Structure 1
């Protein structure tokens, strides 16, 4: 911590604010926090430090949106997410930082491309008189396995499952509060499950916990700011922000 300069602290504080905001208003923005932490700290260490802040923000998100979760969706995702987390832990044991960033970046861009294509197909189907839900939604089991395993993998490797799961929830046509409630419970459960793995591979340390303690108040401010935004945001604007932030984060991971 003593080696961090003023600009580094500003970047970490901005990331902490984004963590709180992303959990209670715009989920895709969390990728920017991942990018800022990785720019200031070594990639693997940044993952461990960020995880604790995410859990703090999860507490606020669950408290605010606990009644809006779709539990059928969460249970459907659970097995695949578990497999993805284990795969991610194994990957982290062997891959270097560069491989981690580029692998996640490619996955995110692929998910975005598939989601946008499906939404375009959906729009064409609706124009021809088809049901918007049946036209857009992939088979439930296939989607749960695909997105769940990718979500588990990317959340373990770089806390970057937000964009992956955002694409899944968008495809499920959740309105804003249902989207945020389901995402809140999903990440609260998954992030806590990641802690033993993170401790075992040495990315959560006493030093990272001290850093987190300094940044927790900023996360709290971001969480309450996000709640204020969520009560006023339009559904179309919400979806565009999620997709936009996802693209920015994916491109950063590829070029950094």
Structure 2
């Protein structure tokens, strides 16, 4: 039926939850789940193979998420972030062999931890209740965080926190925020196919493994979209910052030398 030997149940015991977590993230629940996915699968295959197996799945998830969020977007956010994102992917391709991924993980983790701590202090600290105005679009920060996002997505699967650092303070409607995020990462993942093919990571075996996991990806992505559609802003934003903080702590743990 499959034309190749199915891996052991141990593989599926790690791969199915990993894909489900990433699917929930793709559906709109935030980057923390996505960051857990690849390391979880890497328990049973090499990190390179884990990333390669995930890429076709991510692209399918992107297609499902794009359909689910087709009516929601923030055009200004998408256009502001895309130039830096494309630059970041190109830099990742050019320098991934020379820049340690742990160094990038550390920088992103510390930035996101400070960013989340600031939000929770403002929201629940002594000055809680004082309105914090939404920030506006700024070309410099958009280019910086967009580049870091594209670079992190390519070399360390860590594009979510930089996107959140720039986009969450805009205080967009949750649906518009999610729609823009879905569109941005769909474009980034599509572009990443070229260097992954050039690196030889998308071989026949990994592609076949991806196919066996696609049903899990579809169900989880739609479930994530359904959940986010029912969240109000006063629930969505604390959840988004909280998941971002979890993602940052996971990145920091991966980056530290022990």
TM-score bucket (shorter structure): 0.7 to 0.9
Q: CA deviation at 1:78?
A: 1.8
Residue 93 to residue 254, structure 1, CA distance change in 2 (3 Å)? closer
Whether 1:104 aligns to 2:104 is: yes
Q: Give matches, 1:88-99, under 5 Å.
A: 88-94=92-98, 99=100
Moved more, 200-209 or 144-153: 200-209
User: 2:38, 2:219 → 1: CA distance?
Assistant: 18
Q: CA deviation at 1:178?
A: 1.5
Q: CA deviation at 1:48?
A: 2.0
Moved more, 212-221 or 42-51: 42-51
Unaligned residue ranges in structure 1 (runs of 5+) = none
Whether 1:200 aligns to 2:202 is: no
User: 1:128, 1:208 → 2: CA distance?
Assistant: 50
Partner of 1:254: 255
Partner of 1:142: 140
Whether 1:168 aligns to 2:179 is: no
Q: CA deviation at 1:138?
A: 7.3
Unaligned residue ranges in structure 2 (runs of 5+) = none
More helix per residue: 1 or 2?
Answer: 1
Q: CA deviation at 1:130?
A: 8.4
2:96–2:155: 8 Å Cα contact kept in structure 1? yes
State the TM-score, normalizing by the size of structure 1.
0.85
Per-residue CA deviation, residues 55-108 of structure 1 (Å, 9 max, x unaligned), is: 11111111111221111111111221111111111222345xxx32x1232032
1:17–1:218: 8 Å Cα contact kept in structure 2? yes
Match of 1:184 among 182, 194, 204: 182
Partner SS state of residue 68, structure 1:
coil
Match of 2:15 among 3, 12, 15: 12
Q: CA deviation at 1:238?
A: 2.5
Match of 2:44 among 40, 46, 64: 40
In the comparison of the two structures, how many residue pairs are matched? 249
